[in-house]
Every structure is written in structure tokens, then in C-alpha cells.
Amino acid sequence: MGVPAVAAVLGAGNGGQGMAAYLARRGWVVRLWNRPDDGEVRAWLAPIRAARSLELVGWQPGRVPVELATTELAEAVAGASLVVLVTTADAHRAMARSLAPLLQPGQLVLLVPGRTGGALDFRAGLAEAGRDIREIVVAETNTTVVNSRVVGPGRVEVLGEKRGLPLAALPAGDTGRALERLTGLPFVAAPSVLSTGLTNFGVPLHAIPMVLNAGWLEDRPGAFLYYQQGISPSVARAVEQADAERLALAGALGVETTPLRRYLVESLGAPEGDLYASIHGCEMYRTVPAPPALDHRYLWEDIVAGVVPMVSLGRAIGCPLPVLEAVLTLAGVLLGRDLVAQGRSAERLGLAGLDAAGIRRRVAQYWEEARPCG
């Protein structure tokens, strides 16, 4: 038996604790980090640090070891073969700048998930910090490995493991190197980060229902079931139309992706049928509560790191996305914020001024094609 690999999980919220427990159950030595200015999540670290473990409930329950729970970034990543970012996507570029002096040549950084444009944003942050970006392997998934939520001090519920998750590196030639480090985990190679980025199911599953349930979210925050009650037949039709636009954009860019219906059946074990039936029959979604507020990452994160880059790319190549354009406008009005300015535009991702073939070439041949991002 070899020495277990060390994984530093950055972000100790619901997703981060779930990912830490999952990796520990898979035999990794796990460290868990969170930024010190997040009071609520910092408090969550205290019982984990004291027990040096997490209690996993739901999927494969039991107590799993956590080598370190810390707010010191250097301490978390030192010597780790895998650095997993489970922060919100808006933090990817800033995290890259913070990690730039700490990462060692050959370390793998995995964005779980990258949303749309995550690896491009992260590499831009490394470059801004003056780091030789060729030294670090950067990859992204299109979604989380598990659905999870913190259910008490030092306790995280994992609702199930997803299957066959696409993973791609930037540049695409590094994908094989990344997967070699992740043997035994449920990842499969995707052609490029354009494929993972456009297989961003948070756009239809989060942005659309959040906007269409705005009144309920303000009147009954956290008091209804997000999928079971928040996605009615009419909301499901809007979700399906948004997904059709995502697929149309991928097709216009010549990018492989997966329809939402197929993902629900093949990765989450949902029953086949129309989209409404698959969502309502999905066990992983059955007990998921609505967010505690309208101003939640399900809305702003999936807009700035999903809808904005998709709309921006659609405009750049002449692919109309009317439902996504509408939800972008409405989300900004509902939150009173300029989400376009905050989001991952084609310019910010270094893709402005390119046609579909040029965009594909940029991500496939990143070393030769990269240029400064805005």
C-alpha cells in the first residue's frame, strides 16, 4: 500500500465539508481551510479541528478523519498533491492570486465546480500575481461530486455520489495528467474547459427557479422544498428552455455537452421522463430546502459565473439566448446590482474578439494562445 495522497479542500461551507468527507471516505488525507473573515464558517471549523474528524451522515455514514482544519492557507496547501477549490466561483481569481506564491510546481488545482470560465479566470489570477502558469496543473469539473449540507457542528450530510462527471484541464492537453491523480474518483475526460463550462447545470437549475420564485423566497425563505415545490410544471418548462439555449450555444461553438435530462438520469439516478418528472423523482433532490434568502449564491453566483459568460459568448458569435438574456436582466433588477459588470464576460476571460473556431483554439492551445485577460 502506498502513502495516502493529501488533499487540501479550500472552502469549509456545505460543499467544502461534503467534499472533505467524501475524499476522506475515499482514502485521502484531508485538510480543510476557510478564510478567517467568514465568521459563521470559521465557527464550523472549531469542532472539526478539536475532533480532527467529521461525522458523515447519509451516504456511507460514519466518522472520517480530517488531518487539519485551519484558516492559514499556507498550512493547508503545503505538500498537498491536490488542492480543491470549493469556494463560490466569484472567488476563483482572488484565490489564484493568494495561492500563487504558495503552490509548488506540479500541484493539481481542481475547481469543484468551475462553473463557466473557472479555469480561465483562475489562470488569469495566477498570471496577475506573476506566477509561471505552466508550473501548475489547473482543471475544473462542471458540478460538485456530492450534494451535501452541514447539519450540525462537525456533522455533514452527503445526499449521494454523482457519476461520470466531466473534467477538463486548461490547456486541454493537461486533462490526462489531472485524471491520473484522481484515480478512483467519478471523473471522466471532457474535451476542454469549454465543454465543462457549457455543461453548467446551475444556469437552468438555479438561476431560472430563483428568479421565478422571488416572491416565495422573500416571503418564506428556506421554508419550502427547492426542487419539489419550487419547480412546478411551468417553472420546469422555463428551465427546459434555458437548457435548450445552453445546448444551442454549445452547438454554435462546436462544443460537446450533455442535456440536463440526460444528466439527471445518468449522473443522479433520476427516473426517465420529462424534465419535471425527472426532477421530482430524483432522490438527491427530494429533501433539498429552498435557500434562506433571494440574495443567495444560487442566484448571484450562477448569474455572474454562468449566465453572464454564456450571454457574452452568445452575443460574440451571434447566437441568440432570449431566456438567458431575460433572466440576466431580471436578476439584476431583483438584487439591485450590476451583475453584468461583476460577471465573467468574454473580455474578462480573454475570449473577446474571437469567432467560434478562435475560442476553441484558445482553450485547446492555451500556452500559445493566451493573452492578458481583463
Written as tens digits, the pLDDT of the chain (374 aa) is 456 799 999 999 999 999 999 999 999 999 999 988 877 777 889 999 999 999 999 999 999 999 999 999 999 999 999 999 999 999 999 999 999 999 999 999 999 999 999 999 999 999 999 998 888 999 999 999 999 999 999 999 998 899 899 999 999 999 999 999 999 999 999 999 999 999 999 999 999 999 999 999 999 999 999 999 999 999 999 999 999 999 999 999 999 899 999 999 999 999 999 999 999 999 999 999 999 999 999 999 999 999 999 999 999 999 999 999 999 999 999 999 999 999 999 999 999 999 999 999 888 877 655 544 44
Residue at 351 is within a domain: no
In angstroms, the Cα distances linking 310 to 63, 77, 170, 248, 324 are 41, 32, 19, 11, 8
Listed in sequence order, the residues at least 6 apart from 372 whose beta carbon sits closer than 8 Å to its beta carbon are 124, 127, 350
Marked catalytic residue, from 92, 121, 174, 206: 206
User: What's the grid cell of residue 357?
Assistant: 473556431
Total-model pTM: 0.92
User: What's the grid cell of residue 163?
Assistant: 457519476
Q: Are residues 248 and 186 in the same domain?
A: no
Residue at 352 is within a domain: no
**Number of domains composing the chain:** 2
How far is Cα of residue 7 from the mean position of the Cα atoms in its chain? 17
Residue at 219 is within a domain: yes
Residues facing residue 68 across a β-bridge: 31
**For position 98, what pLDDT does the model report?**
97
Please confirm, yes or no, whether 355 is among the known catalytic residues: no
Q: Are residues 187 and 224 in the same domain?
A: no
Residue at 28 is within a domain: yes
User: Domain boundary residue among 171, 191, 211?
Assistant: 191
Q: Are residues 185 and 208 in the same domain?
A: no
Residue 214 sits at φ, ψ, to 5 deg, of -55, -45
Residue at 62 is within a domain: yes
Angle at 146 (CA atoms; ends 3, 93), nearest 5 degrees:
80
Listed in sequence order, the residues at least 6 apart from 270 whose beta carbon sits closer than 8 Å to its beta carbon are 264, 278, 279, 281, 282, 283, 285
Please confirm, yes or no, whether 219 is among the known catalytic residues: no
DSSP state of 225: B
**For position 132, what pLDDT does the model report?**
84
Marked catalytic residue, from 121, 174, 243, 302: 302
Residue at 1 is within a domain: no
* Structural domain range at position 291: 202-343
User: What's the grid cell of residue 2?
Assistant: 502506498
Residue at 374 is within a domain: no
Residue at 349 is within a domain: no
Pairing between strand 6-10 and 29-33?
A: parallel
Contact 373, 349 (CB under 8 A): yes
User: What's the grid cell of residue 263?
Assistant: 444528466
